[in-house]
Amino acid sequence: MERKTITDTLQRPLRDLRISVTDRCNFRCTYCMPKEIFGRDYEFLGRDQLLSFEEIERLSRIFVAHGVEKIRLTGGEPLLRRDIEKLVSMLANIEGLQDIAMTTNGSLLIPKAKALKEAGLKRITVSLDSLDDATFMSLNDVDFPASKVLEAIDASADAGLTPVKVDMVVKRGVNDQDIVSMAGHFRNTGHILRFIEFMDVGSTNGWRMDEMVSAAEIVERINAVWPIEPVDPNYYGEVAERYRYIDGAGEIGIIASVTVPFCSACTRSRLTADGQLFTCLFGVRGHDMRSLLRSGASDEEIGAFLSRVWGQRTDRYSEIRSEGTIPLEKVEMSRIGG
Ligand code: SF4
């Protein structure tokens, strides 16, 4: 298939594909998969509803032919999907694909890091919301200790998946007291700690604006201890705002979807584990690609469908959030993979 670039109604090119390979997770983070909703009786996707590795690989080829350069594997928790390194190596063989990354909670990473790297994984992002076990356990709600995640970050570095990005979702009154201690821990490690403003993803995490700690406040708190300065983005559409320590101790990032929206350069598409294409993290309705795959559609037909969907894209949710026209039933983070 000939490679081409497709743009949406705001002239944003399709460059990134985030693939959720499972809607299951072994954590129950309160801002993503609260236990009250995702409890014992919750019906997760069945095996036959999930896209197979072959289906994911085929769709990825078509997305790459339409401009995608980077694929990120997400979940739920992607390492719950058996033999995930097999999928990584299938994707690594796609011509034109420049980067394969993964976002994980790190709980299953230690025995897998080396195999993922060997399979072709280029970058890894590990979520860690606090160094304090009591706080971290209250957030992941499965009593998983922070020390184990730190070991997983070390294992990723040993495997050559460097720099490791470490994502911290900051919630006021829950873990914002750990902003400076987290920054202190990752200074001079070469890893990039990124603070994420608490977002109203989905409709089950009970989001409130007053529980969100803004990027400006996070910068202020760190700058008061270790002076930092802004750095230019690495590339068009980069999500995190970059800052570096003036004393040379490294870099941090802030993902400020609420206070500094970045929709104008958003090049990201998302695929759920059951093959629904979403053009925004805060989307309400997906576009069914699995039925196309399973009804014998050709690559050209699927490509045309993708071009049509992306070509009609108008999403800029974070920019209009403050206008108050918020849809109720947004797709859940665990389904769309962040
Ligand atoms: S809110 Fe939607 S359009 Fe805006 S940056 Fe996020 S995913 Fe992109």
pLDDT digits (tens, 9 = 90+) for 35-88: 999 998 999 999 999 999 999 999 999 999 999 999 999 999 999 999 999 999
Going 43 to 46 to 52 to 53, the CA torsion angle's sign is positive
What pTM value is reported for the model?
Answer: 0.96
Q: Which two tokens mark 254? A: 């802030």
Full 3-state SS string of 249-261: CCEEEEECCCCCC
SS3 letters across 192-207: EEEEEECCCCCCCCCC
Say what the pLDDT of residue 321 is.
Answer: 85
How many A from CA of 251 to the centre of ligand 1?
24
What domains are there in the chain, each with its CATH number?
16-336 (3.20.20.70)
Q: Tell me the pLDDT tens digit for each residue of 101-140.
A: 999 999 999 999 999 999 999 999 999 999 999 999 999 9
CB-CB contact of 105 with 127 (8 Å):
yes
| pLDDT score, position 312 | 98
Whole-number mean pLDDT of the chain?
Answer: 96
Q: What's the pLDDT tens digit per position in 173-197?
A: 999 999 999 999 999 999 999 999 9
Q: What's the average model confidence in pLDDT over 311-338?
A: 84
The answer to whether the beta carbons of residues 139 and 196 sit under 8 Å apart is no
195 close to ligand 1 (CB < 6 Angstrom): no
Residue 322 has pLDDT above 90, yes or no: no
pLDDT at 50: 98
Residue 31: pLDDT over 90: yes
Give the pLDDT of residue 2: 81
The model's confidence at residue 22, banded by pLDDT at 50, 70 and 90, is: very high
DSSP state of 26: S
Q: Is the pLDDT of residue 326 over 80?
A: no
- Give pLDDT, residue 155: 98
Q: What is the pLDDT of residues 199-209, one digit of tens each?
A: 999 998 999 99
**Among 310, 320, 329, 333, residue whose Cα is nearest residue 13:** 310
Mean pLDDT of 20-36: 96
Q: How far is CA 226 from the centre of its chain?
A: 28
Check if 315 has its Cβ closer than 6 Å to any atom of ligand 1. yes
Non-local (6+) Cβ contacts of 52 within 8 A are none
To test the pocket of ligand 1, the residue of 200, 258, 318, 330 to mutate (highest count of ligand atoms within 8 Å of its CB) is 318
How many angstroms does the Cα of residue 144 sit away from the middle of ligand 1? 31
Distance in Å, CA 80 to ligand 1 centroid: 27
User: Of all protein residues, whose CA lies closest to atom 4 belonging to ligand 1?
Assistant: 263
Q: Is 263 near ligand 1, meaning CB less than 6 Å away? A: yes
Give the pLDDT of residue 328.
61
Give the model's pLDDT for residue 325: 58
